[in-house]
Amino acid sequence: MKLSRNKKLFLKINSFIGKNKIIDQIMFFCAQYLIYILVFGVLWLGVITLSGDNFKNMIKLIMTAITFYIITGWSLALIWKHRRPIVELVEIKELLKPIQVWKSFPSDHTGISFIFALIAILFGCGLFWGIIFIIMASLIAFSRIYVGVHYPRDIIGGIFFAIFFVFISFKLLENVTQPLYNFFINLL
């Protein structure tokens, strides 16, 4: 069977599982838990550095970008089937069992991580924290391949969609989510 470059690269990265227990543990931690630290770090920095209205706007943009990212990713997955590696490649190793196996593209962990990191940068978190957040998002993304739950194409798709939705989130907030919010508030 001829494998695509995407699957070959996945298998090459995945083959490192079991060769170094410490790296396996670090990658498991990054794939499973680092996203929570990233989210907390961005929110904490926002609370201590932004004024009330700026922090509120940051939260609105994050929620808008994530909402449209998830809607698009899951809609795309229903139309264009990309299953997880465990379903397609029997010879892989997994350090992490995903909740579902029918959707692989784009990686939600990757997208959400990059949305938080990029919006923090747009709100002026500073060079040091910006680099830290991008490194954390990149570790989350890479570790999702390493532990066996995503192909490289899923990660690239997640980064692409995150960048796209971060940069259009300003327009989406102004024209879609804020009017919807105002509409529902007025109903109550």
- Quick check: is 11 in a domain? no
pLDDT of residue 181: 86
pLDDT of amino acid 96:
83
16 in any annotated domain: no
Positions in the chain short of pLDDT 70: 1
Find the DSSP H helices in the chain: 5-14, 21-32, 34-49, 52-79, 85-88, 108-122, 127-146, 152-172, 178-187
- How many domains does the chain contain in total? 1
Model pLDDT, residue 1: 60
pLDDT of res. 93 = 86
pTM of the model as a whole: 0.92
Of 135, 116, 111, residue with least CA distance to 42? 116
* Residue listed under structure tokens 């259009």: 168
Given this model, what pLDDT does residue 187 score?
Answer: 84
Pick the closest to residue 13 from 130, 132, 147 (CA basis): 147
7 within a domain of the structure (yes/no): no
